[in-house]
A and B are shown apart, each in its own frame.
Chain A
């Protein structure tokens, strides 16, 4: 995976051959990846796969054992990285905030640390739907509210780069939708976003590209579709025959080579290799009124993930 490939001109994050060893434990092992401007990039892996360690190295919080990381053209361990930090928003996994500060004070504290005037903080709180809790102390916040406050903190100062470690932890479905709406707006403005998540169904339709980490190693990276193709995962086509046509439809489908066909009470399920997809669809549509309904499902990100990470 650590082969040298030309880095595209709009690369914002360039990770090259990065390794982190803690004694004999290889937390991250020779990872190479890049993120481009305005991209929503997902990093997925089991617990302990090395995602958070990689994040921390990208932010210059812990040194790499080997390899190099450049963010916005600056080496993360260099002196110039301080200025890059002003353009970065970071939401750590399981964020811990200060219980004795109010929501607004929390944002004002971080705004000052970023060298920003604190007058935009109230608007940022409103952006994550916490305006009603601005004057309440954080110790009275629910887990979801803390997570939203943490996200608001990351949004301070219009960052050009967002590092979000398990950002939807503790959020309810409505808040998750609101969260991704904000991410989409930011993407349109050219903000580069890199996030980790355990909830694969949630990110599979939303990320532009993703990387799969397992035991500290990069297993694969690309769009969800590219990874599906790389894994040669079969499609699932579900056919619902018209009343009385079950046997005839099943017979026709069973004659096609290379398919796995199974039946349930009123449906026929066909697992077919990608290259046979059009052949199956043509056959099914030619059956006309004998078919009542048809559903095609791509392999999910979960299928892809388990395919790569084992």
Chain B
């Protein structure tokens, strides 16, 4: 494997997203949503303005868990199938590059664009709130940003996998939407249903492990567990064993969620 072609393809993908203002638009979306949540999140309780970092992060987690997977899936679903359908894939593959290098280049370029948007969008909010933040609160916020980046990369990996397996763009978009529904909406409902139906026996024991099968849930646990107030608020401490809730373990799991779909896509594309 050679790195030069990977970087060439990545640079092109990244530059495309800068040029068509994708990075700018997504950064703005993140900033605006984060600011609205920060200042008006407590409006229902008659409270307007910044309250505490725990509150801000808890609210942002609920937002990000919907938004970032959706944005990542939209960004990557046609990475390969789009080139194939437009008719530009043959020319790319006739170059002295391997399929693996093409795929990794695509992923790297899109991942850089998504990461930059996330860091810029939420970073701007951190800068605005800087006066209100203690060092430990800032650390929590940075942790939230890092986990958001990982969540984005995991769903981007799933999206690129979809773009390799799907035979056309329409199918790829359908699959991407299905994955979003599955991981963001349906998965938790199914788990909850299983938990209720089974009483508190077997499912209760394996419940935390099942949560790890969903990158969105890993993200949630990763953020909620680092904040004492929020942990109690969500009641998660009662179902999630602290032994599993180690940031390095959950972070490692996110890495698995990034590498595994990409690995599967590489295998399939190579075939």
For the complex, what is the distance from the CA of A109 to the CA of B11, rounded to whole Å? 9
Given contacts A112-B4, A115-B4, contact A100 B16 (CB under 8 A): yes
Partner of B90, one of A86, A92, A115: A92
For the complex, what is the distance from the CA of A83 to the CA of B95, rounded to whole Å? 10
Inter-chain contact B8/A109, CB cutoff 8 Å: yes
Residues of A64-85 contacting chain B, CB below 8 A? 82-83, 85
Chain B residue at minimum C-beta to C-beta distance from A85: B96
Inter-chain contact B88/A96, CB cutoff 8 Å: yes
Inter-chain contact A90/B94, CB cutoff 8 Å: yes
Partner of B95, one of A56, A94, A98, A110: A110
Chain A residue at minimum C-beta to C-beta distance from B102: A113
For the complex, what is the distance from the CA of A305 to the CA of B5, rounded to whole Å? 43
Least CB distance from B100 to A in Å reads: 12
Chain B positions within 8 Å of A299 at CB level: none
Chain A residue at minimum C-beta to C-beta distance from B98: A82
Inter-chain contact A61/B95, CB cutoff 8 Å: no
Chain B residue at minimum C-beta to C-beta distance from A113: B95
Chain B positions within 8 Å of A104 at CB level: none
Inter-chain contact A94/B87, CB cutoff 8 Å: yes
Residues of B9-50 contacting chain A, CB below 8 A? 9, 12, 16, 19-20
Given contacts A100-B20, A113-B8, contact A88 B94 (CB under 8 A): yes
Chain A positions within 8 Å of B9 at CB level: 113
Partner of B91, one of A82, A95, A101: A95
Chain A positions within 8 Å of B19 at CB level: 100
List 19 contacting pairs A-B, 8 Å CB cutoff, sorted by A: A59-B90, A85-B94, A85-B95, A85-B96, A86-B96, A90-B91, A92-B87, A95-B91, A96-B86, A96-B87, A96-B88, A100-B16, A100-B20, A109-B12, A113-B5, A113-B92, A113-B95, A115-B5, A115-B96
List residues of A whose CB falls within 8 A of some B CB: 56, 59, 61, 82-83, 85-86, 88, 90, 92, 94-98, 100-101, 109-110, 112-115, 153, 163
List residues of B whose CB falls within 8 A of some A CB: 4-5, 8-9, 12, 16, 19-20, 86-88, 90-98
